Amino acid sequence: MFNGPVPEPDPSQFPGPDGAFLEDFATLCAFGATPGGGVDRQAGSPADGEQRAWLTRKLQDQGFEVEFDRVGNQFGLLEFQPGEPYVLVGSHLDSQPTAGRYDGAYGVLAAAHAAFRLAAEWRGRETAPRYNLAVVNWFNEEGARFKPSMMGSSVYTGKLRPEDVLTTSDPSGVTVREALAATDSLGQGGGPTAAYAAEIHIEQGRSLERDGVAIGVVDSNWAANKYEFDVGGEQAHTGSTVIADRHDALLGASMLVVAAREIADQFPEGSVHTSVGQLDVYPNSPVVVPSRVTLLLDLRSADEELLAQADQLLLQHIERIERAARVTISRSGSHCWPVTPYQSEGVELAEKMAANCGLTYTGVKTLAGHDSTNLKDVVPTVMMFVPSVEGISHHEHEYTTDRDAVAGLRVLTEVVRSLCRGDLDPQ
């Protein structure tokens, strides 16, 4: 694995607007910085509030009007055609607890700088673009503090109800409404109406770097079934309670973790991904057999038939584990999405703009969820990747080179210019 330390952005190697972008990215990296070179700025945290306030100032300095919607999505608005919809471009600034600098944040700042460049071109011209322009920072894409992930864009696209989101609590009992209020991010309304959307992101995989390709044009997403399970047992003394009398919730949960990996191993390599990313144990005492464990388990595949088979295998494992560990396992929540394509005209546009910039490109699929996977269900959406060094992600050593970051910004600028002009409008 790439062991860092992660190189600092070096604006001196890129004069002009590209250097200004890297300088701003270096500033952004300081919010919630961790000793290991990453960031910790979970949704609605003080660090998240600080970076949102900084982005507000950056946008306002460039003449954008900033507003927050009812669930904390942050929009920088530039109106060219009163009453017309917007091209939404952006990603998310929130992070995992110990995260890399680039995930999401690169896409938000690239969106802002693409918008700044286009605004400078269009101001004062007699011919304005067809659509207005909005830079967006979606709330709680990561789902680290509040579940589910992709929360803000799910509300924007009508997949979640605002009130259900606002009353969602973190493990400490703080609600989304309270966290947004504490960071001055609680607004009103549903945000601007979109005509098109675009997002650029680090790949979070190694294929682009491996193949020496500058731009990945995303043509579809993997399907995912993400489940929250409650494993129920009985509290008992770890010393005096004989093994035969125990109903150990943690034993059952551990067997479920192993089962998830065994399911993935039953399919051709790389075709099904499974994982358990979170365990909450009660009472979590050194001398108490746990009575309850909550865990999050997800299954992912580009093939929905394989995903359905994996799902069936999971049910069989659950039945076996309940008998073997003498526990109950119930599903208390789910967050699922199918394989869906990005609009072909947007894919072709991204490929054309990458070629016009003299960059190599290839079609890719996204294994991870992104806000654009929600947006594409309601408006034509363009999604692009830039390479990740060794594919490292959700880790403090996550890294994308300055050269690749700047290249992605240039292509994004051309894509957004074309969308704002209405080049994809039906003729």
Whether residue 138 is found in the same domain as residue 187: yes
- Start-to-end CA distance of the chain, whole Å, equals 49
Asked if residue 427 is part of any domain, the answer here is: no
Whether residue 343 is found in the same domain as residue 376: yes
Dump pLDDT digits (tens) for 221-265: 999 999 999 999 999 999 999 999 999 999 999 999 999 999 999
Asked if residue 132 is part of any domain, the answer here is: yes
Please say if the pLDDT value at position 4 is more than 70. no
Beta strands in 203-291 (DSSP E): 215-221, 223-232, 236-237, 272-282, 288-289
Q: Are strands 74-78 and 86-91 parallel, antiparallel or unpaired?
A: unpaired
Asked if residue 40 is part of any domain, the answer here is: yes
Q: Could you tell me which residues come within 8 angstroms of residue 297 by beta carbon, excluding any fewer than 6 positions away?
A: 226, 227, 229, 256, 260, 274, 275, 276, 314
Whether residue 227 is found in the same domain as residue 217: no
With cut-offs at 50, 70 and 90, classify the pLDDT of residue 1.
low
CA atoms in the 13 A half-sphere facing the CB of 364: 28
Asked if residue 383 is part of any domain, the answer here is: yes
Dump pLDDT digits (tens) for 177-222: 999 999 999 999 999 999 999 999 999 999 999 999 999 999 999 9
Please say if the pLDDT value at position 317 is more than 90. yes
Cα–Cα distances in Å, from 401 out to 10, 225, 398, 405? 10, 33, 10, 6
Which of these three, 303, 337, 371, is where a domain ends?
337
Whether residue 291 is found in the same domain as residue 147: no
Please say if the pLDDT value at position 306 is more than 90. yes
Asked if residue 231 is part of any domain, the answer here is: yes
User: Could you list the residue range(s) of the whole structural domain that residue 255 is in?
Assistant: 223-337
Nearest alpha carbon to residue 209 among 349, 6, 2: 2
Asked if residue 6 is part of any domain, the answer here is: no
Whether residue 152 is found in the same domain as residue 101: yes
Asked if residue 307 is part of any domain, the answer here is: yes
CATH code: domain of residue 279:
3.30.70.360
Whether residue 185 is found in the same domain as residue 119: yes
Cα–Cα distances in Å, from 29 out to 2, 41, 93? 19, 10, 11
Whether residue 38 is found in the same domain as residue 54: yes
Asked if residue 2 is part of any domain, the answer here is: no
Which of these three, 337, 362, 391, is where a domain ends?
337
* Residue 332, pLDDT score: 85
Domains held by the chain: number: 2
Nearest alpha carbon to residue 138 among 126, 146, 127, 130: 146
DSSP assignment of 78-143 = E-SSTT--EEEEEE-----TTB-SSTTHHHHHHHHHHHHHHHHHHTT-SS--SSEEEEEE-S-SS-
Dump pLDDT digits (tens) for 40-92: 999 999 999 999 999 999 999 999 999 999 999 999 999 999 999 999 999 99
Residue 285 phi, psi (nearest 5): -110, 145
Amino acid, res. 82: P
Which of these three, 337, 371, 399, is where a domain ends?
337
Q: Break the chain down into helix, strand, coil percent, rounded to 5.
A: 35, 25, 40
CATH code: domain of residue 143:
3.40.630.10
